[in-house]
Amino acid sequence: MSGRELAKEVRAAVAARAAELTKNGRQPRLAVVTANDDGGSAAYIRSISAAAAREGIACDVARTTTATGITATLTSLADDPEVHGIILQTPLPEGASLAALATLIPVQKDVDGASPESIGRLVAGLPAFAPATAEAVLALLDHYGVELRGRHAVVVGRSVVVGKPAAHLLLDRHATVTICHSRTPDLAAITRQADILVAAAGRAGLIGPWHVSPGTTVIDVGTNATPEGGLAGDVDPAVTGVAAALTPVPGGVGPVTTALLLRHVVEAAAIAG
């Protein structure tokens, strides 16, 4: 289940809206804030910068190394009327809290749905931007016509950026949702019951062929840097021999995530001022 075709569709619509906004004197602008040298995050920033350039969206990357630096950067971006969207990259520096730092991102600019206010609104069913990665999982399932209602979705991983919001979005679509994590004793016993398996643990190759059943549709959210400088998912590609379908890494969730993040930026720009 490639994500490239869906990403292309989303990008075309986003480029058209960006051109319209720019013509009206309001070019959409995204600020990316990063304080890590993580390979997955670097791949994301490359992907965002390239897609933004193609779509006519302005994109600035602010690099810092400390929580204090992040605080200062977010505070100034929050007040800058030219900036419509802000994403703070994880992982964060040791000791920094995403929840605390993300409170500095105004909800209208919170294009990756990271602030406690955005998360609360999402869970309560009020308008907010959903985290782009979690939204990409649902967009891929819809694109390939995978039924969610009444089916068993198993999410492996409980991060605030992916696992928790993906579980909520699946729940809203009437799936029965189980969340597994590093302290789940017999992971395979649970994942083998999944109609839909979302792997978002951040551990390369965690999910093997013995974790899936012939009916399982597997969405691989992992973006683990390989020693060769590439990306590997959380799912062993050998899973394709057993499961009903699998999203590849690269070329699966990643491109859709980037496209949806930029869609949020044009939506934020359209709403602003």
Does 223 belong to an annotated binding site? Answer: yes
Q: Residue of minimal CB distance from ligand GUE? A: 254
Q: Is 133 in the site for ligand GUE (CB under 6 A)?
A: yes
Binding mask 138-177 for ligand GUE (x = CB under 6 A): -----------------------x----------------
Binding window for ligand GUE (CB under 6 A); candidates: 72-80, 139-147, 173-181, 253-261: 253-261
Cβ atoms of 86 and 110 within 8 Å: the answer is yes
Determine the 3-state secondary structure of 154 from DSSP: strand
Residues in contact with 53: Cβ distance below 8 Å, sequence separation at least 6, in sequence order: 59
Phi, psi of 94, deg, nearest 5 = -45, 130
- CB nearer ligand GUE, residue 47 or residue 216: 47
Q: How far is the CB of 248 from ligand GUE (least distance, A)?
A: 8
What b/e string do you get for 79-103 counting C-beta neighbours within 10 Å, with b at 16 or more?
Answer: eeeebbbbbbbbbbeeebebeebbb
d(CA 111, CA 101): 15
Does 76 belong to an annotated binding site? Answer: no
Q: Is 116 in the site for ligand GUE (CB under 6 A)?
A: no
Torsion, Cα of 160, 128, 63, 46 (10° steps):
90
How many alpha carbons lie under 13 Å from residue 119 in its C-beta half-sphere?
A: 18
45-84 residues near ligand GUE, rule: CB under 6 A:
46-47
- CB nearer ligand GUE, residue 151 or residue 168: 168
List residues near ligand GUE by CB under 6 A.
40-41, 43-44, 46-47, 87-90, 112, 114, 132-133, 161, 223, 231, 249-251, 254-255, 257-258
